[in-house]
Amino acid sequence: MNNLRWPRFQRLFLNDLQTQGRKILMGSAGALVVGVLLYLTVMSGPNGDVLLYRAFFIIAMYAGGLTLTSMIFSDMHHPDERYFYLMQPVSNFERILSRYLISGPLFHVYFVALYYVFEMVARVLSNLFFGQAAQFFDYRDSVIQGASRLYLVAHAVVLLGAIYFRSYALAKTILSLAGLVLACITVLWFSMRLVFWDYFPSLFAFAPANEPATSFHPANWPTYIHWFIAVALYLWVLFIAYTTLQDHEA
Amino acid sequence: MIELQDMGFTYPGSAKPLFANLGLNVPAGTICGLLGPNGAGKSTLLKMLAGLIFPHHGTCRVLGTAPALREPDLLADIFLLPEITFVPAIRINTYLARYASFYPKFDYAVFARVVAEFELDINQKLHLMSLGQKKKFLLAFGIATNTRLLLMDEPTNGLDIRGKSQLRQILVAHYDSERSFIISTHQVHDLDGLIDSLAILSDGRILLHETMDSLSTRFSVETLNRVPDDAIYYEENLGGFAVIKSNSTGTESRLDLGLLYGMVTMQQEQGTIAFTQETHL
């Protein structure tokens, strides 16, 4: 298949990895230093039992990963670099797959490994200076697992933004997403207000008759539907990102 | 090699189309000089041939395929040297290791020979090079790719006199019957004695596209003290008048590209252009 030829993809992937690798390593070194300092600052007080990793891991993974993702197609938008990017004899599918892997799943794996290193360094220093350390990082923690899954979804959306927006991709993606969510809520509210007129005792309050309020909560949906919709949306966003990349070549 | 028919293109936001019904055929084994005034669309045409810009209507085929499809196999058979050169911040040998394998016919020996000829240091960082050195490097890489189509946009910009001479020698040495070079430039004299066909682009159409052999049997250039009655075009210079006349002898005459370009643009302005698209090719 001309869209994915293994030797060509392998070369492209290695090239992309080498190009992004330097940024990732520099960002990691900076985050490691700042992270250790923050960890020590928190540990200087009586905070030995806190699940510090929940905040540290999630914030650093989202900030680092999504920033990297938002910049991963910057060469495509740069007026001079654009020709260099476009003239490489590779397919669109190979381009997006390579950069998706680097900024998404592989970044996550790398970040988990990096976080273990950070925890070990920080714990050694914290024990040395303050005789205490926070609870050790647990990747199987349900909060971490949920945040990791959500990272992949957020990554797909930001990847789409990185392809679509020429500059400030992350900020514009967040604003667009916020706008979209707000618009959906508004449309939904207006529709509900009009269709279920009698169920609104006041302007905003929704009180469906004989229905316990909790039945509308997503937590009560059947799990498989929940998963199906999530995976379908995820794949849809990636597909839109791929078609947007094709459009941007024109 | 290149087939353009009734091709049209308008830049977004522009009221006037850049190309209305552009037609051009370039066979394999050609070194074609592409001349034209500023804004005529020379760079745009090269980008179109390279699949970077898509025509709005008409046919554009390169090596039998539409470049707009951006097939990787086609892209591996085209190399574009753009006017504004971008090179990543890596060394020459790193660049080679990363990008040469995208071109199946890449010849490392040719690359080493051309780089040596251009006196480039293989360990030098590309982004620290001068404009001329960057051009030389990309030319060496482009030549070594052995792509069937090599597109060059102002390749002599930034090259010193020796560099220009080296470029001519290298292009002649690495051109064969399967390979075509398209060179777009404002420096008409850089193409003297190098090209075997000439295309002049102006006002969105090809005013002239003809082999140099054909042109030199149709026209002759002489330097005279006065302008003869049968002069088609002339320009005054220090030695008198450089005059283009019809070649009545039938023997090939050495043509001056600058003078030829002046003649075609003058005839275009007067509305007496004597050429049609694809004359004599």
In the structure encoding, which two tokens stand for residue B24, read together? 């051009």
Chain B residue with minimum CA distance to A3: B72
What pLDDT, in 10s, does the model give residues B145-164?
A: 999 999 999 988 888 888 88
Q: What is the pLDDT of residues A189-244, one digit of tens each?
A: 888 888 877 777 777 777 766 655 555 555 665 677 777 888 888 898 899 988 88
Whether residues B128 and B71 share a domain: the answer is yes
Domain check: are B151 and B61 in the same one? yes
Q: Which residues have C-beta within 8 Å of that of residue A170, sequence separation ≥ 6?
A: A66, A67, A69, A70, A158, A161
Look at residue B281 in the predicted model and tell me its pLDDT.
39
Q: Which of B174, B203, B232 is the last residue of a domain?
A: B203
Domain enclosing residue B54, as ranges: 2-203
List of residues 6+ apart from B98 with CB closer than 8 A = A11, A14, A15, A18, B90
CA separation, residue A167 to residues A73, A74, A164, B15 (Å)? 10, 8, 9, 27
Number of structural domains found in chain B: 2
- Residue B227 and residue B148 share a domain: no
Sheet arrangement for strand B19-26: B19-26, B2-9, B57-62
Residues of chain A with pLDDT under 70: 1-2, 47-48, 208-222, 250
Pick A81's closest partner by Cβ from B70, B71, B86: B86
Mean pLDDT of chain B: 86
Beta strand B197-202 with B205-211 is: antiparallel
CA distances from A158 to A47, A163, A182, A192, A240 (A): 35, 9, 18, 31, 12
| B79 contacts in chain A (CB < 8 Å) | 87
Same domain, B155 and B255: no
Say yes or no: B102 and B196 in one domain: yes
* pLDDT band for position B280 (cuts 50, 70, 90): very low
Q: Which of B52, B70, B72 sits opposite A8 (nearest CB)?
A: B72
Sorted by where each begins, the domain ranges of chain A are: 6-248
Nearest CA in chain A to B98: A15
For residue B208, what are the β-bridge partners?
A: B200
* Option in A80, A83, A90 nearest B72 (CB): A90
Do B12 and B87 belong to one domain?
yes
Whole-number pLDDT of residue A1? 45
**Same domain for B225 and B104:** no
* Residue keyed to tokens 């008048």: B241
pLDDT at position A230 is: 81
- Residues of chain B with Cβ-Cβ distance to A81 below 8 Å are 86
Chains A & B: contacts with CB separation below 8 Å: 54
B60 and B196 share one domain: yes
Domain end point (choices B203, B235, B269): B203
A212: left (phi over 0), alpha (psi -120 to 50) or beta: beta
- Residues B146, B268, single domain; the answer is no
Same-domain check for residues B132 and B236: no
Residue with tokens 């979209």: A180
Higher pLDDT, B127 or A246: B127
Kindly state whether residues B66 and B170 are assigned to the same domain: yes
Which residue among B203, B238, B257 closes a domain?
Answer: B203
Type of residue at A222: P
Phi-psi category of B229—alpha, beta or left, where left has phi over 0 and alpha has psi -120 to 50?
alpha
Contact A87 B80 (CB under 8 A): yes
B241 touches chain A (CB under 8 A): no
Q: What is the ipTM of this complex?
A: 0.83
CATH of the domain at B52: 3.40.50.300
pLDDT tens digits for range B230-250: 778 888 887 788 888 777 776
Q: Does the pLDDT at position B183 exceed 70? A: yes
Q: Say which DSSP state A104 is in.
A: T
User: Are residues B226 and B134 located together in one domain of the fold?
Assistant: no
3-class secondary structure, A1: coil
